[in-house]
A = this chain, B = another copy of it.
Amino acid sequence: MAELTAKGRATRARILAVAADLVLKQGVAGTQIEDVRKAAGVSGSQMTHYFRDKRTLIKDVIAWQADKMVRLQQTPELDSFAAWQRWADRVVERQAARDFQGGCDFGSLAGQLVESDAETRADLAAGYEQWLDLFRRGLETMRARGELREDADPDVLAQSLLAALQGGLLLSQTLRRADPLRNSLDAALAYLGSYADPGRRPA
């Protein structure tokens, strides 16, 4: 898609945003390419120009959501106990603002598509790896600064934080209430806190 003009890139981005929104509300199976075309207000030939078929579209929606999620969470950096606490608060607020509908923008794609085919699973795995990298970098900074003890493993902590987030989101989405997500994140933060260097006061 490197050959697209600025206008072409904007149209493609608009179609993707509409597709991602529909997929979140109606699920992948419930979203047809024709729904996306109508909602984006483009012609059939434009649609085909940017996305060969539904599979191509969904593949790009996965990449789009992975990018968005990483951009959303990389500022501010998750490199202090206070930053992680604010992150957790913001996650819960954001879900509460939409009444816990839709769940995790990225995780809900994973839940729907992970067993669809090998290529899609690999795309989803790449998205989670990006996310784990982001968490790990912040945790490595905390350890380098001495906020976390030397025996804290940023890989292990990143995985436990992301799993708590994904599981908490799915439970809160299904039960339509805040407490599973809140309690899951609090537990993961408490686990993180158990690696605080006792010689230092957490920021």
> Which residues on the B side are within 8 Å of A171 (C-beta)?
128, 159, 162-163, 166
Contact indicator A110/B170 (Cβ below 8 Å): yes
Determine the chain B residues whose CB is within 8 A of the CB of A27 once the complex forms.
29, 112-113, 115-116
A46 at the interface (CB under 8 A from B): no
Task: Report B-chain residues with C-beta under 8 Å of the C-beta of A103.
Answer: 114-115
Instruction: Indicate if A137 sits at the interface (CB-CB under 8 A).
Output: no
Contact of A160 among B111, B176, B183 (CB under 8 A): B183
Q: How long is the Cα–Cα vector from A87 to B159 in the complex, in angstroms?
A: 20
Does A18 sit within 8 A of B, measured CB to CB?
no
Residue contact B160 to A163, C-beta cutoff 8 Å: no
User: Does A49 belong to the interface (CB within 8 Å)?
Assistant: no
Interface range, A side = 35 or more
A11 beta carbon closer than 8 Å to chain B? no
Chain B residues positioned under 8 Å from A163 (CB to CB)? 163-164, 167-168, 170-171, 180-181, 183-184, 187
Bound state CA distance, A169 and B114, in angstroms? 12
- Cβ < 8 Å to B, chain A residues 125-170: 125, 128-129, 155-157, 159-160, 162-168, 170
A25 touches B115 (CB 8 A): yes
| A129→B177 CA distance, assembly (Å) | 12
CA A129 to CA B175, docked complex, whole Å: 8
Most buried by B among A102, A112, A114, A128: A114
By Cβ-Cβ distance, the 5 closest A-B pairs, closest first, are: A111-B111, A167-B167, A29-B29, A163-B184, A163-B167
